[in-house]
Homo-oligomer: A and B are copies of this chain.
């Protein structure tokens, strides 16, 4: 459970509620079913054309699951694991036994592929590098897709407002037109409001967040790849820590002097 993402969403909700409340004591004037339908329905329809219905499920999965669990990417755990495995492997334990000491799925996959012995070590490492590149590219594509979705809610917000204005103006001409035009125009603008809210409080910030997580995953995968090479060559754990730490900014680095104590 990623507590910070949840808090972020709660803050967004509170800011929105307070902002609306400060503007009008009566929140009902901001509610309009058809407007909500046009913005959400339109965005869903555009997404279903753009990404195939069977893929939308996985988009939602990325959207919520990864976003809400994302911040568990902690490269120091990988570094610690690699150090422990190196130590144990130097002390004669077999790779098969050590596979379970790997907490990170990619590190586990890497150790299984090598302890399997089907492929030569060099070939296996090459395949793992290829997989890391491919996984990074796919994560990057997913983020770009969600960013691309950010353009739809404001577009459909504008579409809804245009529809509303056309209807409104078509019915003008009666006696008390000027009296009715005001409130009706207000309703038209609600779709614009929904579009802005969905884009700027939900889709775009989450896409930025996923972009960040995606970069952290890339760094973690680079560390795994470098780490597996150290495991195979039974490197000194201190050298391992020093080298793997290079992938991190100073304050995020593993303090191996204390960590291994």
Q: Taking beta carbons and an 8 Å cutoff, which residues of A are in contact with B?
A: 4-5, 7-9, 11-12, 14-16, 18-20, 22-24, 29-30, 33-34, 37-38, 41-42, 44-54, 71, 113, 118-119, 123, 127, 130-131, 134-135, 138, 141, 145, 148, 151-152, 155-156, 158-160, 162-170, 172-173, 177, 179-187, 189-190, 192-193, 196-197, 199-202, 204-206, 208-209, 212, 215, 238-239, 242-243, 246-249
Q: Contact check, A186 vs B169: say whether CB atoms are below 8 A apart.
A: yes
Q: Contact check, A49 vs B18: say whether CB atoms are below 8 A apart.
A: no
Per the bound structure, the CA–CA distance linking A199 and B229 in Å amounts to 47
Q: Nearest CB to that of A154 among chain B residues? A: B155
CB contacts (< 8 Å) of A156 on chain B: these are 200
Per the bound structure, the CA–CA distance linking A33 and B22 in Å amounts to 9
Q: Contact check, A193 vs B50: say whether CB atoms are below 8 A apart.
A: no
Contact of A163 among B19, B119, B173, B242 (CB under 8 A): B19
Q: Contact check, A42 vs B54: say whether CB atoms are below 8 A apart.
A: no
Q: Contact check, A22 vs B37: say whether CB atoms are below 8 A apart.
A: yes
Given known contacts A169-B183, A186-B166, A215-B141, A52 and B4 CB-to-CB distance under 8 angstroms: yes
